[in-house]
Structure 1
């Protein structure tokens, strides 16, 4: 996983946590009991205490708000049923065990009611394809958490290819981005006595050989080797048995960088490349090849490019800007290339250049092929590319997979041409497809349906935005939906960082919303990656108002089609989508009757100094640039809440341990509403980071609260 993907998604899967429902949930509720001295915020209150994330005054205020929200919404007789349905789905023993291919085996991380922290386990591929695989548990994270007395969250392994025996296992306390790395032997199933251990830090590591690791981290514990974004800019070489403090600098970036990351690539033929990835900002990167353990040779790649893998000794690279390599024709932005790492002058080959309606989603490399998943008018497609003779086009083979779905690469095997793909849609439970050799993929596993779909349909409509741009959106609804303007409708979107919002099967959406007559809508607004780099670029920095106009235009289109009305229309967003919800609430308070704002950015005048906010200046703009500062002031939700405006009562949720966006954004927004005397619901998960909560009962709790809130705002008569 590349560094930008890690920042956006987290190293662990979000919202697949499960746990011991009654005891853990009871503990969570107990933790939310107000201390009795919670501050009451008025227009005269100095709210600076909320910036102290774990401060006693701040936590007293948080617990008081949590208590208000839970005590109010849990009184609804629907709450208990909602909670049970979500929890049942999260803990279902028949959900898919997603595979990871390492060292000739299939690995999986599994959580259930008996193992809330999870089991890391392995089996053979033949066994995995059985209905009930024969798993061997290699690491019991529950036992480790109990032994260490730490709320460990498993964030995955980083292993030395091709044997994948030597691994660094990443463990996070409570779900934060900062991790502890410990050496683990997959053959013995034990942490290595006297092996590599790297204490808590935001850090990235890569194996060079059995005894050598390249590592970027906070080296002195004082933050002097961290960027303003909170990520490392110094990479050192770690040698087994070397005394502490004797590590050699491999590369030292600049404090003004976003991050510096080591990468080691290995292909199926045994070629290895050690790279330094220097992220100047979120979108511009420089890459250097490490030679002889210390010499750096910078690659002449465009600034907006990303290395996706290594095949036959050549780099597989995607570019997000037009590129004119010396002596070669211009290669359009969005293309996927094969590049000679010894120098671009030795040849650049284009594997694939998307058309106007297309965009590359993911790239995976096997021993002899490159797999690409892409969107065509936001519908999933997949292609396998095979190298041809020098100077000849690569052979492209479309893969036969279901339409109107999202298609993703689950994992690829560098030692063979085996890969797993996932396929899912709004009404199609997740399927697992196996790709082997030159054959077409075959479906090998499918998750059971969690809600009835006989009377449901998915359609794709287009709205016209303020500037005339056509904006696609998906809508899921009953076949017999009446066009009377009274259908309760939930609209969601993201619109940032070139992230595409595509069809997903979400059991709680089906059970708690669609089954009860609700309509679900996903808007593919600008700022995302649905139509490639230009679609994203149109909504970046001061062009970002287009994103908010697009979203509002979809809302108005739903009303004009008589699908819903403002009275029955609600919106939901999280992270950058939480900012979207906050802006829509302040810019169009009369257009929505429910607003869910999750783990959000909301104070855009100060985001650069909050948590990892400095890393997003390339997306949002910077207060240090006058024109960009003017725009940020014009949209910042916290500063645009006004006493004389009637807002829909929002539901705001965040997490105390979110060390990426941080809870202060949500706290400031809620505090401003409180000072203005405006009603709101606020819920802050005491545990869990940016990617989600850390156990199934808490996930079910938060989702059930949302469902009650939406039911009250959009379904119940007032």
Structure 2
């Protein structure tokens, strides 16, 4: 492929100048587009929606979600008085009370005022003795962070402590005076995708530039990842050579046992998930794996003693076997057994798997709701040789305010916190339906609205989807959507299209690269079903998606415009010719394909909305949003698509915020503005008439 025919070089792209994130011409264009959008949409109804959304997001009686480390529960909290948030901690006994006694560790707003920088909190890693932490600070929500050592007793950053300048960085402690880190500080430190290529060991008191390289990958790999296990008698370090977004070579370096001090590559498929918390190796392959004369099915969970595996044994035991409707989403190793987080026809289930003499057996955790999403996370216990005993459960549903509970292995989970109801759910019904894809596959979707069984006239409806990277869309409490949309009598639908992980790895693999369009076709099938069943009409139906979901709804605009009355497209990928040249795009080639490969560009261009847009087609109105500090999906995608549609005379609205990163969640005010603008757009389109 020569320079003139290489689509990734952007030859003939009249709007490539909009990729200059801080370019004067581009910034002026953004300001003009924002002013036009705000002038049209920011009316009294928008103001009321903004106030209602912000009230929900800042509510004092929200659940303060926590993680446990040592004796403390850690929480990060944002509210009206602290828009950038407070990092704080408390004890479990105090947390159980209605008004926990929080110990303030770090006030991000106060830090920003002192330093004159718009930091956002991006997490912290506690040292093995829990006396210090490696705090990550993000500028306005970027993925790139500045890392600083923090003393938890004095509540101050350590003047001469570990500090790494802003970059895409991952770090953890080896001991109180040594850390491992991977940081994309320079071009040599970085992969072509912009992630860390090297993992270094840095000892206290030595210069950063002298940190020892202990693991490295190739320039064209996605990244070098690592994980440190501090569990006493099971200490180890694992390294991942991420070949692409789905494939990796995994190495383990145990500190105990027959292989202590050795770094060994695990003889596993490249597409696999593992855990190695204690003496067992748990493996879940993404494709069927033939080993030791038997086949471990894609999405199954198998186990073997780690040292026996390293010695050459391959007699895995099966812990979980998937079915066409039951898939394993994740698992947690506990001293009681392995807790399996399962989706059963997109409904959450938790089961405890325990080993017996005749194999593994499972039982459901007691007293959990049948029709909800249930998430399980280990709750402390990282310092216990025999594994931790506690799990923190988060239970939620579309019309069910979120609750949390603690399960310690015996009896029913013990309730911890309950979120307030944010909207009036009177008459709200949740039903699961199925649309029929072109190849006969049943595509499930959830429908949420008032008095659905009663039927009636078609109603304004939002159809939401994602369809990529094995991400599962599951029920979750619709706090803001419920208040601003469902309370009005409108309808919301969530589609579980292929490309996601709702039915295991095969559901994802059905929509990758040359078959990526299948996710988009599935979504269109759901849109048709909504209209055919009388829930809505094309004129009253809007689709909404963000990131990969932005690519999804961009394809609804350009490939299926007749099915929708409006498109809400957030932080999207849209120019699939240049996506690999923009920020983290190269890391997604395994999902979409390589536009610089002529054979792959042949199918990529068929789902590249930026290239499909045509003056010969009438499109529904589209609202495209992005964020200037998004260093994952380049804002140029959204900018250029809006400019191209405008040049073609198509109805397009655009809004770009200047803080928030890819999630747009650095403060609640920005989130409330984004939601209120989106619903204002829908009022002006599918709710009219």
* TM alignment of 1:478-557, pairs within 5 A: 478-479=450-451, 483-484=455-456, 486-557=458-529
Q: Give the C-alpha shift of residue 260 in structure 1.
A: 0.5
Q: Give the C-alpha shift of residue 433 in structure 1.
A: 1.3
Q: 2:111 aligns with which of 134, 141, 144?
A: 144
RMSD, aligned CA: 1.9
Distance in 2 (alpha carbons) for counterparts of 1:324 and 1:266: 33
1:190 aligns with 2:162: no
Distance in 2 (alpha carbons) for counterparts of 1:97 and 1:518: 30
Q: 2:306 aligns with which of 317, 341, 349?
A: 341
1:260 aligns with 2:224: yes
For residues 519-557 of structure 1, give each alpha carbon's deviation from its aligned partner in whole angstroms, at most 9, with x where no partner exists: 000010000000001111111111112111110110111
Question: Which residue is equivalent to 1:179?
Answer: 145
For residues 483-513 of structure 1, give each alpha carbon's deviation from its aligned partner in whole angstroms, at most 9, with x where no partner exists: 4552111101110000001111121111111
Question: Which residue is equivalent to 2:170?
Answer: 204
Distance 1:291 1:420, change over 3 A: closer
Distance in 1 (alpha carbons) for counterparts of 2:397 and 2:125: 31
Q: 1:378 aligns with which of 329, 337, 346?
A: 346
Q: 1:49 aligns with which of 4, 14, 17?
A: 17
For residues 617-672 of structure 1, give each alpha carbon's deviation from its aligned partner in whole angstroms, at most 9, with x where no partner exists: 00111123333211111110001111121111101001001000110100110010
For residues 216-240 of structure 1, give each alpha carbon's deviation from its aligned partner in whole angstroms, at most 9, with x where no partner exists: 1124x3x122111101111111111
Question: Which residue is equivalent to 2:83?
Answer: 116
Contact 1:174 1:694 in 2 (8 A): yes
Distance in 1 (alpha carbons) for counterparts of 2:413 and 2:586: 43
Question: Which residue is equivalent to 1:453?
Answer: 425
Question: Which residue is equivalent to 1:413?
Answer: 380
Contact 1:266 1:310 in 2 (8 A): no
Distance 1:406 1:480, change over 3 A: closer
Question: Which residue is equivalent to 2:627?
Answer: 655
Distance in 2 (alpha carbons) for counterparts of 1:58 and 1:632: 27
Distance in 2 (alpha carbons) for counterparts of 1:505 and 1:488: 20
Contact 2:351 2:362 in 1 (8 A): no
Mean alpha-carbon deviation: is it higher for 64-73 or for 686-695?
686-695
Distance in 1 (alpha carbons) for counterparts of 2:78 and 2:477: 19
Distance 1:395 1:467, change over 3 A: closer
Aligned residues: 666
Contact 1:608 1:614 in 2 (8 A): yes
Q: 1:283 aligns with which of 246, 256, 269?
A: 246
Distance in 1 (alpha carbons) for counterparts of 2:458 and 2:538: 9
Contact 1:83 1:704 in 2 (8 A): yes
Contact 1:99 1:410 in 2 (8 A): no
Question: What SS does structure 2 have at the residue aligned with 1:715?
Answer: coil
Distance in 2 (alpha carbons) for counterparts of 1:368 and 1:314: 14
For residues 108-148 of structure 1, give each alpha carbon's deviation from its aligned partner in whole angstroms, at most 9, with x where no partner exists: 11111111111111111111111111111122222222222
Which stretches in structure 1 are left out of the alignment for 5+ residues? 1-43
Distance in 2 (alpha carbons) for counterparts of 1:569 and 1:144: 45
Distance in 2 (alpha carbons) for counterparts of 1:368 and 1:165: 29
Q: Give the C-alpha shift of residue 482 in structure 1.
A: 5.5
Distance in 1 (alpha carbons) for counterparts of 2:168 and 2:147: 10
Give the structure-2-normalised TM-score: 0.93
Contact 2:141 2:661 in 1 (8 A): yes
* TM alignment of 1:398-437, pairs within 5 A: 398-414=365-381, 415=384, 416-437=388-409
Q: 1:615 aligns with which of 587, 598, 611?
A: 587
Which stretches in structure 2 are left out of the alignment for 5+ residues? 1-11
1:227 aligns with 2:199: no
For residues 697-717 of structure 1, give each alpha carbon's deviation from its aligned partner in whole angstroms, at most 9, with x where no partner exists: 222112111111111211221
Q: Give the C-alpha shift of residue 590 in structure 1.
A: 1.2
Q: 1:319 aligns with which of 258, 264, 285?
A: 285
Question: Which residue is equivalent to 2:4?
Answer: none
Question: What SS does structure 1 have at the residue aligned with 2:101?
Answer: coil
Question: What SS does structure 2 have at the residue aligned with 1:330?
Answer: strand
Distance 1:384 1:412, change over 3 A: farther
For residues 43-72 of structure 1, give each alpha carbon's deviation from its aligned partner in whole angstroms, at most 9, with x where no partner exists: x99423211111111111111111110111
* TM alignment of 1:86-165, pairs within 5 A: 86-161=53-128, 163-165=129-131
Distance in 1 (alpha carbons) for counterparts of 2:152 and 2:282: 29
Contact 1:308 1:318 in 2 (8 A): no
Q: Give the C-alpha shift of residue 398 in structure 1.
A: 3.4
Mean alpha-carbon deviation: is it higher for 432-441 or for 631-640?
432-441
Distance in 2 (alpha carbons) for counterparts of 1:218 and 1:331: 37
Question: Which residue is equivalent to 2:38?
Answer: 70
Q: Give the C-alpha shift of residue 250 in structure 1.
A: 0.4
Question: What SS does structure 1 have at the residue aligned with 2:410?
Answer: coil
Question: Which residue is equivalent to 1:352?
Answer: 320
Q: Give the C-alpha shift of residue 194 in structure 1.
A: 1.3
Question: Which residue is equivalent to 1:684?
Answer: 656
Question: Which residue is equivalent to 2:203?
Answer: 239
Q: 2:214 aligns with which of 231, 246, 250?
A: 250
Q: 1:568 aligns with which of 531, 536, 540?
A: 540
For residues 3-36 of structure 1, give each alpha carbon's deviation from its aligned partner in whole angstroms, at most 9, with x where no partner exists: xxxxxxxxxxxxxxxxxxxxxxxxxxxxxxxxxx
Contact 1:482 1:563 in 2 (8 A): no
Give the structure-1-normalised TM-score: 0.90
Contact 2:553 2:568 in 1 (8 A): yes
Q: Give the C-alpha shift of residue 164 in structure 1.
A: 3.0
